[in-house]
Every structure is written in structure tokens, then in C-alpha cells.
A and B are shown apart, each in its own frame.
Chain A
Amino acid sequence: MSHRQLSEQEAQEKSSELRTYLWGFGLALVLTLIPFGLAAYTQTAARTLYIVIAVCAVIQVVVHFRFFLHITLARNKREDLQLILFTVLILTIMVGGTLWILFNLYYRMMPAMLP
């Protein structure tokens, strides 16, 4: 496979994909810097900080899926999107259920384990 000239259309596609990656990288960078910056240099209340961290993390996950893994709402990617959404459903059930059950048990029987 050798180096070859790109057609005009391909060159356009390439630069648009490059822009996608750059956008993704920039957004991810900002979303990383915000929580780290707040945690390192400000005296924000813990509660607010937790919320900011959580929101930034969720948005960043979406950014990674959208810009790096190219998950979109396009029709031919539905199967994969369904797969991911189903996984999110199962994760929610399992993780949520685990936390609910165990913290309830702690509350009733092992208060020392409550953070």
C-alpha cells in the first residue's frame, strides 16, 4: 500500500474528520480541567463539587462516544446504539440495585460501613 493522492472529496472528508477529533479533544480537555481545577485551586463546597464532577464526567463520556467512537443517531448505527443503551440499562439495574441493597443493609446492620 503506497502513499497516494487524495481526491478532493476525500480531502474534504479527511479535514472534517480531523475537525471532529480536534473538537472532541478540546471538549474533553475542558471537561477534565474544570473539575481538576476546581478541586485544586478553589474552596468550593464539597456538595457543589461532587455535582460538578459528576456532570462533567457524564458529559465527557458522551463526548468520547460521539467524537472518538463516532456513535451517532444515524440509522445504520442503530444496532450499536441499541447495544450501548441496553448496556446502560443493565448497568443501571445492577449498579443501582447493588448500591440500594447494600446501603440498606449497612443502615440496618453495619452502620460503621456507612461513609
Chain B
Amino acid sequence: MNHWAEWLLGRLDWSALPFWDAIVDPTTKNIVNAIIASGAGAMVILGGLIAIGVLTWTRRWRWLWSEWLTSPDHKKIGIMFIVIALVMLARAVIEAVFMRLQQAVGLGGGFLTAEHFGQLFTTHGTIMVFFMAMPFLTGIINYVMPLQIGTRDLSFPVMNSVSLGLTAAGAALVMVSLILAPFSTGGWSGYPSFTESAANPGAGVDYWIWAVTLSTLSSTLTGINFAVTIYKKRAPGMSWFRLPLFTWTALCTAILMIFGMPPLTVATALLALDRYLDFHFFTADLGGNMMNYVNLFWAFGHPEVYILILPAFGIFSEIFSTFSGKKLYGYGALVIATMAIAVLSFTVWLHHFFTMGQSAHINAIFGIATMLIGIPTGVKVYDWMLTMFRGRIRFAVPMIYAVGFIILFAIGGLTGIILAVPSVDYQIHNSLFLVAHFHNMLIPGLLFGMLGGTNFWFPKAFGFRLEERWGRRAALCWIVGFMLAFFPLYALGVLGMPRRSAAFFEPAYLPWTLAAAVGALIILLAMLLLLIQLWVSIRDRDTNRVPAGDPWDGRSLEWSVSAPPPEYNFPVIPEVHSRDAYMRQKENGRGAHPRPDEYTDIVMPANSAMGPIMAATGFLIAFGLTWYEWWLVAAAGIVSLIALVARGYVRQRTRTIPAQTVRREHEAWLERVSRIRPVSRREEQTPANQGLAMSPLEGAIQ
């Protein structure tokens, strides 16, 4: 009996329950931690049950399966990526609030155990990078990029669905670790020898390894998909220097994914070999060398930073030019700067470990390379400012995020230059100064970009605008909350407070940690406001509809189709004659929506179950590996291999939409658009805005 249980469950037993410590050792602190941890686990279970209940009650399982999970449509996959990102964002923000509260009362102890605190900062970092930022930017690129370059789907739609499945599996693994605890306490970077089995034999680090590995595989496939799509599927006439800037950043991000992910795959794979098969890559004994892990991890980690930031740069470029009513200033310079950043990002990884002990001249060279990145980034900031210069700026929600970004990002960039000086880095490395710096880059940079982008393209995806007032409140709370939560951390870092401290004994830190905690609560409020904004927008969707598809007087091709776009995106593939293709079309008098001479049959990829199958098997393999359930690993592995081979035998890979249907739908839409009154920019935020912009020739505010 016992033998069978061991065979079935591996090393999984009662102690994995989040409240086990409190039962074994019921101290006050353990009980408090058990309540918090069990509450988190209960929320995961409750959330899952509610989702299952709603789907069953509304009889939507079949709809979910055939319309969403098996869909190869890049737009739906993009939306699902963003849903994952938002769910994970909510969890990681709550964790952040707990960490800030702990440090606010952390003088001499606080209320969290060090173990619990360690899990919080590890999951917070892992989620924010791999399961919030990556799916968010992947989702937005997925949705927007094919529309911008005038194509109907990515090069490999089913592989896209598999990418989504792998990310979902990794996110699910991190969620499950709340119920069957613990997660790793090794930080998001998971340095050995702390994460080696000698110091950390439990399941936590293994959860981390496999969650990250799933995400890495997903991102590599995504990168290949995006790059090939941009190389091979652009609409006729869409030459390289006519690409919208967002597509340029998407291309550079894709290239960074292709070449930046392998080092992480190597690092986590070798760590797994150490832990599972007793290899000696990073162990302290028998010829191991843990410094190589640090080297490999950051050979990934630095390109990763630019994977995160470049798409946001692209989004801001679109926002600045659209809401200033001007063409982007210095397009060529921005493209070259983007490429320069992408290449330079491979040459600076050592600045993450200036203090590891290499010679001063190596540190100096990498320090200089790091500062060089400031040049193309500076070029970008000036280009954005000059785009706004003498424009008719409209402070819509995306623009608020963008302006918040440009100021805060410049401050964060300056602290980055400070950190790039090795001798200064020796003083403040591993302190909260560093934490303040990278949050200062990633929250205004990445997150504001993603939220601004969501507000910008939401009407395109769902056919109605997001509510403006709650959106502004949320944006302001993000900006203020961010400043209050992270500027004190600069001071704390200079005062010498180490990062990742569960407790401290220096009263001078207290005012700063209290201020930071208030800031964290404001960020939590901002999250809540985002939710209210979404709810109010859905409630009032009928007054805010924009069926004509161009609510902001947009410039690139995605605004030329209906909102939401038909599944084939373009009834007829457009021909591109210049940069800002759609704006040119609106200006040159042929009308925003010319009627094509003829329609042709459209061949679209057919649905495939490969995505969900890979998600399920990926999750089960990872779960089995984490808990040593080898039968599960073998079974799921065989199923996924069979699925991969069987996929090769499938010949029904496409389906055809007849030209008649396309004509009917397109003509119905054109008919509807012809009854819509074009609006000037003054009326942008009113219900009169149904997505038809007044032609610039008629004197709309530009």
C-alpha cells in the first residue's frame, strides 16, 4: 500500500499543504503565515471552481474549446496571452504588497517567516518576468503586428497556439505551487549553490526550473514565429522602411527571443541535471563552478531586459505620434536605435555581476558597453519629445501613460548609468537601490507601455472604447503609486539596506519603508481601478462602440479594418505605398475604405488541438518531474511525442472562406460605415466617436 502511494505520488505528501507547518509547530508566526498561504491557495481553488461553474452553467465548454482554445487565430491567441498576463499580474501585485507591508513593520521581525518571504520575492520576480511581462508583450505583438503588416495570420499559426499552451502550463505550475507548496526561495535568478540539492533538496527549486523552462520554450517558438512572419508575410509594398515602428520593435524583440533564450535553457537544464542526475556543473565540490551559472543566466538576462522594453518603446512610438496628430519624428533614427539596442544588449551581461571577482579591466569594458546603450535610448527619448513638439496633444489615457513613462524612464535610466560604473556598483550592489532601479525601468517602461497599449488597441479588439475617467484615475494611481513605492527604495539602498531582507534592525530605514508600503497600497488601488474601468466599460459598451474601427485617427493599417476585425483581417490584402499607410490613404482622397474590384476565396488555418494537448502534457511532465512522479512524466511524454508525430499525418490543415461570404460581410460593414458621422478630434471621447475620423482635408484637429 505504502509502496503504491510512493510510486503514485512520488515525494508528494501532507507536508506540501500550505498550513502544514502550523499544525506541526503552532507558533503564532506559523499560524499567521499558514492563514495567508492557505488564503492564497484557497483563492486559486475558488477561482478555478468559479470559472468551471460559470462555464458549465452557461454551457460554454464547447464554445471555449472550438472558439478559443483550439483556435489558430492570432487575435484570439493574443487576447488569451493578455488574459494570462493580467491574472498573473494581479497575483504578483498582491505579493508585492505583502512584501512591502512586511518591510514596513519589519524592524526586528515583521509578520512573515523568512521562508514565506523568500517564496514571495521568488514568485513575484518569476511571475512578473516570465508570466506577466512575456505573455503581455507576446499577446500585444500577436494581436497587432499581423494587422500592421497587412497579413492574415502568423507564419505558423498552430505553433503559435502551442506557444500559448506552454506559457499557460508554466503559469498553471506556478499557481499550483500555492496549493501544493512550497515554491523556490532562490529568487527569480535562482543562483546556485543555494539552489543545488545539497542546500535545497525540496520541490521548490524544481517548480521554478520547470515553470521557467516551459516559458523559455514558449518564447523561443514565439520569437521564431514573429521573425519569420515579419520577414516573409508583409503586404505588397510594405518594404522594410515602411514598417510601423511597433513592428520594428516586434522584430528586434523576436530576434532577441531567438538568441537570448538559449542561454537560460542551458542554465536551467544544467541546474536540473545537477539536481536530478547528480551532475557537477554548479556544485561546490568535484570540479563544479557556480560562477558559470551566473554567467549563463545573465547572458540570457540582459537580452531579456530588452525583450521586455523594446515592444513598449514601439507602443509608445505609436501612441506619441497618434495622440500628437503628427508623424513620428526621426523614424529612421528610431529604427537604427532599436537595432543598435538589440545588438548592444548582447554585449553587457557582465554588469549584473561586477562584484564576482573578475579583473577591473573586464568590468571597465562591460561598464562602458553598458553606458553606450544610453545613447540609442537617449535618441529615442528625444525623438518622442520632438514628435510631441508643436503637436496638438490629446491627453487620452494611453498618452497619460506615455508621458508618465517618458519622465520616469529618464530618471530610471540615469540611475542605470550610475549603476553601470563598476566602482559605484561595488557600493550599492545587492541593495534596494538596484531594486528601485529595475522597477523604475520596468514599471514605467514595460508595464505602462502594456497598459497604454491595451487602452490604445482595446477598441480595435473588442469594438468599444475603454471608459476614460476610470482609466485616467488608474493611470494616475499607477504613476503616483510607483513613485511613492520605489523612490524611497533608492534612499534605502544608499543607506545600505540589502535587497530581499525579511527583517532589519536599523530604525533609520523605517520612515522610508513605511512610505514605500503606502505606495504599494496605491498600486493595489490602481489595480482595483483597472478592474472598475473594465467593468464600467463593458457595462457601457453600447454607447462607446466604434464599429468603423478608427477611434483615434490612427496611422497604420490595423485601423483600416472594422473593430473587431473579421477573422481574415483584410477582405483584400492591401497594397502599401508609403509609411503610415492608412493615414496616407485617408489623406489622398481615395477615401478611407475603398471598395475592392473583386474578392477572392480566403484560405485560413484550420483549428488544431495541438495547443491544448501540449499545454496539458507540458504541465503534467513538469508537475511529475517536480514531485518525482516518474510514471506521469513517461506517460505525458509519450502522449506529446505521439501527438507531434500524428500532427505530421494531418492533411486537413486549412479551410476556405468563399469569396461570396467575404464580399457579403465587407459590403455590410461598408454600408454601416457609410451611415456613421465622421468626428473631429474634439469629440474623440464622446459617444459620437464611432470610429470614423474626419478626413484631415475637412479640417479635423491634427
CB within 8 Å of B: which residues of A?
A: 79, 86-87, 90, 93-94, 97-98, 100-102, 104-105, 108-110, 113
Interface with A: B284-292, B402-410, B657-665, which one?
A: B284-292
- Interface 1/0s, chain B 344-378, versus A by CB < 8 A? 00110110000011110010000000000000000
Cβ contact within 8 Å between A113 and B289: yes
Q: A79-B231, A102-B295 are in contact. Are A94 and B346 (CB under 8 A)?
A: yes
Q: How far is the CB of B213 from chain A (nearest CB, A)?
A: 19
How far, in whole Å, are A101 and B287 apart by their CA atoms in the complex?
18
Could you pull out 15 A-B pairs where Cβ atoms are within 8 angstroms?
Answer: A79-B231, A94-B263, A97-B299, A97-B349, A101-B350, A102-B295, A104-B358, A104-B359, A104-B362, A105-B291, A108-B357, A108-B359, A109-B357, A110-B289, A113-B287
| A residues less than 8 Å from B358 (CB atoms) | 101, 104-105, 108
CA distance A90 to B358 in the complex (A): 22
Whether B289 lies near A100 (C-beta < 8 A) is no
Assess whether B259 is interfacial by the CB under 8 Å rule.
yes
Docked pose: A96 CA to B503 CA in angstroms: 41
Question: Which 3 residue pairs across A and B have the least CB separation, nearest first?
Answer: A104-B358, A90-B259, A93-B346
Contacts of B357 in A (CB 8 A): 105, 108-109
11 additional contacts (CB under 8 A) given A102-B292, A109-B357 = A87-B259, A93-B347, A97-B299, A97-B347, A97-B350, A98-B295, A100-B362, A105-B357, A105-B358, A113-B287, A113-B289
Q: Which residues of B sit under 8 angstroms from A94, Cβ to Cβ?
A: 263, 299, 346
Q: Give complex CA distance A86, B346 in Å.
A: 12
Residues of chain B at interface, number, CB under 8 A? 20
- Closest Cβ–Cβ distance, residue A79 to chain B (whole Å): 7
Please give, as numbers and ranges, the residues of chain B lying within 8 Å of A109 by CB-CB distance.
357
> What is the CA–CA distance of A113 and B295 in the complex, to the nearest angstrom?
16
Residue-wise, chain B 254-287 has the 8 Å CB interface mask toward A (1 for contact) of: 0100010001000000000000000000000001
B349 neighbours in A (Cβ, 8 Å): 97
Chain A: which residue is nearest B263 at the CB level?
A: A94
Q: How far is the CB of B253 from chain A (nearest CB, A)?
A: 15
User: Which residues does chain A contribute within 8 Å of B289, judged by CB atoms?
Assistant: 102, 110, 113
Nearest to A112 among chain B residues (CB) is: B287
User: Interface readout for B178-192 with A: 1 if CB under 8 Å, 0 if not?
Assistant: 000000000000000
The 0/1 profile, CB within 8 Å of A marked 1, for residues 438-479 of chain B is: 000000000000000000000000000000000000000000
Task: Point out the residues of chain A lying under 8 angstroms from B347, CB to CB.
Answer: 93, 97
Please name all residues of chain B whose beta carbon is closer than 8 Å to the beta carbon of A98 when the two chains form the complex.
292, 295-296, 299
Q: Kindly state the separation between the CA atoms of A108 and B291 in the bound complex, as whole angstroms.
A: 13
Chain A residues positioned under 8 Å from B299 (CB to CB): 94, 97-98
Give min CB distance, B261 to chain A, whole Å: 12
Chain A residues, CB < 8 A from B292: 98, 102
Question: Could you tell me if B287 and A105 are in contact, using CB atoms closer than 8 angstroms?
Answer: no
Measured CA separation A40–B362 after assembly (Å)? 40
A37 to chain B, nearest CB (A): 33
Residue of B nearest to A93 (CB): B346
Given the known interface contacts A79-B231, A109-B357, A113-B287, the answer about A101 and B295 at a Cβ–Cβ threshold of 8 Å is yes
Query: In the complex, which residues of chain B have a beta carbon less than 8 angstroms from the beta carbon of A100?
Result: 362
Considering the chains assembled together, what is the distance between the CA atoms of A113 and B314 in angstroms?
45
What is the minimal beta-carbon distance from A96 to any residue of chain B, in angstroms? 11
Bound together, the chains give a CA A110 to CA B287 distance in angstroms of 10
Known: A90-B259, A94-B263, A94-B299. A101 touches B362 (CB 8 A): yes
Across the interface, name the chain B residue whose C-beta is closest to A95: B299
Task: Write the chain A residue with the least CB distance to B365.
Answer: A100
- Residue of A86, A105, A109 contacting most chain B CB atoms (<10 Å): A105
Q: How far is the CA of A63 from the CA of B121 in the complex (A)?
A: 51
**Chain A proximity of B426: nearest CB distance (Å):** 16
Residues of A within 8 A of B362 (CB): 100-101, 104
Interface centre among A98, A101, A110 (most CB of B within 10 A): A101
Complex Cα distance A97/B292, Å? 11
B residues within 8 A CB of A113? 287, 289
Verify B346–A102 contact, CB threshold 8 A: no
Question: Contacts of A90 on B, CB cut-off 8 Å?
Answer: 259, 346
A55 CB to nearest B CB, Å: 27
Cβ-neighbour of A105 out of B255, B263, B346, B356 (below 8 A): B356
Q: How far is the CA of A8 from the CA of B346 in the complex (A)?
A: 51
| CB proximity of B650 to chain A, nearest CB, Å | 20
Contacts of A79 in B (CB 8 A): 231
Q: How far is the CA of A63 from the CA of B287 in the complex (A)?
A: 37
* Least distance between B345 CB and chain A CB atoms (Å): 10
Q: Specify the chain B residue showing the minimal Cβ separation from A107.
A: B359
A86, A90, A100: residue with the most chain B Cβ atoms closer than 10 Å: A90
Near A by CB (< 8 A), chain B positions 284-313 give: 287, 289, 291-292, 295-296, 299
